[in-house]
């Protein structure tokens, strides 16, 4: 699924001077299967990019399309299908359910498309060293553990694009590397692309394209 | 799991208060509708006269005995009574203007003959099928409605003659005859007659209007027919006003008729008040439940929004809220019905002890009202859930 940002300018960012390479106000194509890095300092609109690209913010001018269709025309049925099967997201604020256990957070997502078995879910947690938290309430986990959980949850669906909004901000380098390996594997299995927003550091990841804000 | 997420961490106290209010409202609503219907049905079927119907005549005073005042009704007086808003209809009771006697004509029953006074009333005032209540010359028999006191008298006669007494049903099988005659014209005729019902409210034999007209046309002595009694049918629960009219116009009726009318009016009005309060209570408690749903949704905004962001369809969330609250109202309705049956048990007993023998069966109207309340609540909760969830989409 090709995503095009055709001269998108979010209203809150309209008064700021953007560089000539900025995605804001320019024509940007997100080509399927590509690994894209969006590197910018704080306050430049990384989260705005995420929320706009996945249709949660509509306060912009310009046109944003998925495979040529303006995303503002999608019905609730179409958005539900897109969120279940085409675009997976790791939100900056993680969007987990603190009153549910780790298992329940994953099962709640996984049961929409039944991508993994319970054993496979536990294996993914084990790779990120949080399998011992299976029965623990999510709200009791540290931020780093919650970030890892949010990444595993994002894996629990088929997708063509994985949009990640600063997913490693609370992770050490080793854990970030493990997460990246998991993401690489999953994207490779589906020939999916991803957009990774980071705060001024590429962490040494391999990417095909870098976007600027 | 969605239910656990959305409904587990709620303040149950508010829900319980809303539920208690709703089930109390529902209980009073069903109970008041049930007894309103029962009170209005009270007296129906017990007499062949229609409900809320009385026969009235002018009070006989010393001056009327001296022919100083009239005891008959003019057309104008009847029209004035019809014009009252609480009066459904007024029709004259027509009496025979000819000689008539009534006798048994059945080999199974001993011979019995008496001069009688016959009257006719409009068929609309009778609780009898109009197909039975007609007569034309050449018909097999004249249908008649007999005063119950006449049957008591007949049974006394039977008993004195050593013959078994007859029930209502058996009496309706006995063959009778009317003898009509005019001594001056030296004409007479016998016509077969059958009882089709009984009344406690009229002291004369009631016959169809066509038979009365036939008798008056052929056997009348020519004197002017006066209307000394009229039949008044009052609007439901407004019998007090009919009674007031009677006092104002100097009219009187049988005490029993007045009593039942008065009782029905008073009880009916009281129940109407309770019904009004119950409707308000159900409406308010329904609103409280809907408001509670909105409160629950506003407390779960994060959950609702996140569920949609991870791929849950808004319809699925609407369904969750809808089913949850429809179930709650189902429990409320169930408890309401249960409490109604307990109320009914004690109230029926209380009415019986007070001498008010109300039919013990259930009324479909109260169940229909419950169903309507349920459907209204279900529709409101669905619309409310839909509006709130799509607001977060």
Per-residue pLDDT tens over the stretch B139-186: 899 999 888 888 888 788 778 877 777 888 888 888 999 999 988 888
CB contact under 8 A, A109 and B9: no
What is d(CA B269, CA B313) in angstroms, rounded to the nearest whole number? 51
The β-bridge partners of B254 are: none
The more confidently predicted of residues B70 and B237 is B70
pLDDT exceeds cutoff 90 at B70: no
CB contact under 8 A, A99 and B310: no
The per-residue pLDDT for B204 is 82
- Binding-site residues on chain A for chain B (CB distance < 8 A): 56, 76-77, 80, 83-84, 89, 91, 95, 97, 99-100, 104, 107-109, 111-113, 153, 157
The β-bridge partners of A88 are: A162
Q: In the CATH scheme, what is the code of domain A33-46+75-211? A: 3.40.50.300
If pLDDT is split at 50, 70 and 90, which confidence band does B47 have?
A: low
The per-residue pLDDT for B230 is 85
What single string gives the DSSP state of each residue in B98-144?
SEEEEEE--TTS---EEE--EEE--GGGBSS-TTTS---TT-S-EEE
If pLDDT is split at 50, 70 and 90, which confidence band does A165 have?
A: very high
> What is the greatest pairwise CA distance in chain A?
50
The per-residue pLDDT for B67 is 66
The per-residue pLDDT for B361 is 82
Which of A151-155, B113-117, B343-347 shows the highest mean pLDDT?
A151-155
Which residues of chain B are within 8 Å of residue A153 when distances are taken between CB atoms?
310
Q: How far is B11 from chain A (nearest CA, A)?
A: 15
pLDDT tens readout for residues A182-205? 999 999 999 999 999 988 766 667
The more confidently predicted of residues B321 and B47 is B321
If pLDDT is split at 50, 70 and 90, which confidence band does A93 have?
A: very high
The more confidently predicted of residues B108 and B43 is B108
CB contact under 8 A, A80 and B309: no
pLDDT tens readout for residues A49-76? 999 999 999 999 999 999 999 999 999 9
Share above pLDDT 90 across residues of chain B, in percent, rounded to a whole number: 15
User: Six-digit token pair at B164?
Assistant: 């078994």
Mean pLDDT, all residues of chain A: 91
Q: Are A7 and A64 in contact (CB under 8 A)?
A: no
pLDDT tens readout for residues B188-221? 999 999 998 887 767 788 899 899 889 888 888 7
Which residues of chain A are within 8 Å of residue B9 when distances are taken between CB atoms?
99
The per-residue pLDDT for B153 is 82
The per-residue pLDDT for B198 is 83
Domain ranges of chain A: 33-46+75-211
Nearest to A183 by CA among A114, A127, A113, A130: A127
If pLDDT is split at 50, 70 and 90, which confidence band does B261 have?
A: low
Q: Could you tell me if B7 lies within 8 Å of chain A, comparing CB atoms?
A: no
In this complex, the residue of A76, A108, A157 whose CB is nearest that of residue B314 is A76
Q: Could you tell me if B9 lies within 8 Å of chain A, comparing CB atoms?
A: yes
Nearest to B390 by CA among B324, B297, B327, B292: B297
């Amino acid at each position: 699924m090709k995503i095009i940002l055709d001269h998108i300018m979010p209203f809150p960012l309209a008064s700021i001077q953007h560089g000539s390479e900025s995605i804001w106000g320019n024509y940007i194509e997100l080509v399927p299967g590509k690994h894209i890095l969006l590197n910018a300092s704080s306050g430049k609109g990384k989260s705005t990019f995420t929320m706009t690209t996945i249709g949660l913010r509509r306060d912009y001018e310009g046109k944003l399309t998925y495979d040529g269709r303006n995303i503002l025309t999608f019905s609730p049925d179409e958005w539900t299908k897109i969120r279940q099967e085409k675009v997976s997201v790791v939100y900056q604020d993680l969007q987990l359910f603190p009153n549910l256990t780790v298992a329940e957070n994953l099962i709640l997502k996984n049961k929409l498309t039944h991508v993994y078995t319970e054993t496979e879910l536990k294996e993914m947690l084990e790779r990120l060293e949080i399998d011992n938290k299976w029965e623990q309430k999510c709200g009791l986990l540290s931020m780093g553990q919650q970030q890892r959980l949010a990444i595993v949850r994002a894996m629990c669906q088929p997708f063509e694009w994985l949009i990640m909004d600063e997913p490693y901000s609370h992770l050490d380098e080793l854990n970030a590397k493990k997460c990246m390996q998991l993401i690489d594997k999953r994207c490779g299995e589906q020939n999916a692309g991803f957009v990774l927003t980071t705060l001024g550091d590429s962490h040494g990841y391999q990417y095909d394209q870098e976007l600027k804000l | 799991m969605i239910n656990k997420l959305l409904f587990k961490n709620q303040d149950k106290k508010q829900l319980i208060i809303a539920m208690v209010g709703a089930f109390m409202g529902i209980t009073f609503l069903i109970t008041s509708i049930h007894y309103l219907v029962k009170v209005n049905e009270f007296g129906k079927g017990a007499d062949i006269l229609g409900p809320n119907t009385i026969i009235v005549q002018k009070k006989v005073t010393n001056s009327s005995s001296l022919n100083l005042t009239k005891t008959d009704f003019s057309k104008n007086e009847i029209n004035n009574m019809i014009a009252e808003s609480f009066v459904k209809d007024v029709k004259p009771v027509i009496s025979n203007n000819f000689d008539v006697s009534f006798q048994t004509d059945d080999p199974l029953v001993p011979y019995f003959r008496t001069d009688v006074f016959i009257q006719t009333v409009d068929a609309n005032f009778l609780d009898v099928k109009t197909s039975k209540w007609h007569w034309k010359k050449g018909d097999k028999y004249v249908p008649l409605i007999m005063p119950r006191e006449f049957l008591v008298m007949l049974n006394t006669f039977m008993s004195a003659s050593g013959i078994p007494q007859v029930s209502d049903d058996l009496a309706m099988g006995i063959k009778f005859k009317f003898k009509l005659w005019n001594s001056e014209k030296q004409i007479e005729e016998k016509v077969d007659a059958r009882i089709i019902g009984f009344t406690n409210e009229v002291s004369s034999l009631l016959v169809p209007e066509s038979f009365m007209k036939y008798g008056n046309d052929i056997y009348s002595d020519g004197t002017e027919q006066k209307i000394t009694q009229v039949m008044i049918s009052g609007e439901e629960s407004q019998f007090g006003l009919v009674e007031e009219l009677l006092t104002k116009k100097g009219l009187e009726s049988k005490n029993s008729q007045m009593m039942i009318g008065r009782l029905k009016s008073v009880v009916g009005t009281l129940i109407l008040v309770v019904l009004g309060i119950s409707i308000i209570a159900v409406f308010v408690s329904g609103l409280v439940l809907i408001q509670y749903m909105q409160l629950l949704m506003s407390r779960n905004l994060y959950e609702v929004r996140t569920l949609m962001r991870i791929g849950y369809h808004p319809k699925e969330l609407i369904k969750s809220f809808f089913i949850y609250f429809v179930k709650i109202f189902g429990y409320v309705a169930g408890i309401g019905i249960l409490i109604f049956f307990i109320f009914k048990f004690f109230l029926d007993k209380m009415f019986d002890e007070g001498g008010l023998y109300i039919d013990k069966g259930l009324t479909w109207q109260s169940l229909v009202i419950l169903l309507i309340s349920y459907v209204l609540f279900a529709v409101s909760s669905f619309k409310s859930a839909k509006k709130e969830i799509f607001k977060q989409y």
